[in-house]
Copies of this chain bind each other. A is one copy, B any other.
Amino acid sequence: MALILITLMVILAAGPTWSAPSIIQMRSEKKTLLATDELYCSSWRFTVETNDAGAWTRVPVRCVDFLKDYITGDLYAAELEAVAANAAEYARAIGISGDGRDAWVFDIDETLLSNVPYYAGHGFGSETFNARAFNEWVELAEAPAIAPGLRLYKELQELGFTVFLLTGRDEYQRHATERNLMYAGFNNWEKLILRGKADDGTPATVYKSAKRKEIEDAGYIIHGSSGDQWSDLIGFAVARRSFKLPNPLYYVA
């Protein structure tokens, strides 16, 4: 009763052009919004990209078509561009010293290289992750560049940043990874950091934080970090600014 009164008061106070508060309340109370796939899957994507969803293992089955349309359509590409534009704008404004100590840390998969061709053949994230099949794909070294990532990478180097590549891929995949990066147009990174034996079983957030800490301890300032997973960006030794790229295909803890 109090809610209805409030809603009425707001409508009266706000004038004839405004009626959303009642919509927000009444539609939500019916709990029907998440019944449509479009709204359910759009909202699911929101919760995944903000990390509200926490750990998840598979794209909901009802969202497979939605995800396919998104990831092969204009919106995913536009979001990648928008995030790269944010990063470039920030990087240009820093005014770095030029002594080589100004660093940027990039993740690789879904940040510089796209595994969408692989996931297109594996249910767009709706299937259980198949490590063997994915590692075979990595060995092919055919992942295309994410174009806005490549442009950002090159611009950062022109601005004088030292680029570190920090990936959850294993040390045994170093050669294939280097080959793929070069084929896709990436060059002159300072260091490519992969998971060694000692990092086995360490959660990505801890592994990546520890490696960033080593970079800092070597005298670098990590101005920026780009990654498609929150575990690329949070933890300790965090970059001054972090840039979260979209990725609703999989989650890395």
Contacts and interface: CB of A to CB of B under 8 A. Distances in A.
Interface of A: 2-3, 5-7, 9-10, 13-15, 17-25, 27-29, 31, 33-34, 39-40, 42-44, 46-47, 49-54, 71-72, 74-83, 85-87, 90, 114, 116-117, 120-121, 140, 142-148, 183-185, 241-244, 246
18 contacts: A2-B185, A6-B184, A10-B117, A13-B142, A18-B121, A19-B72, A20-B117, A24-B76, A24-B77, A24-B114, A24-B146, A27-B77, A33-B78, A43-B79, A46-B83, A47-B79, A47-B82, A54-B241
A52 B243 contact: yes
Contacts of A120: 14, 17-18, 20
B145 A27 contact: no
**Which of A27, A42, A47, A82 has its CB near the most chain B CB atoms (within 10 A)?**
A82
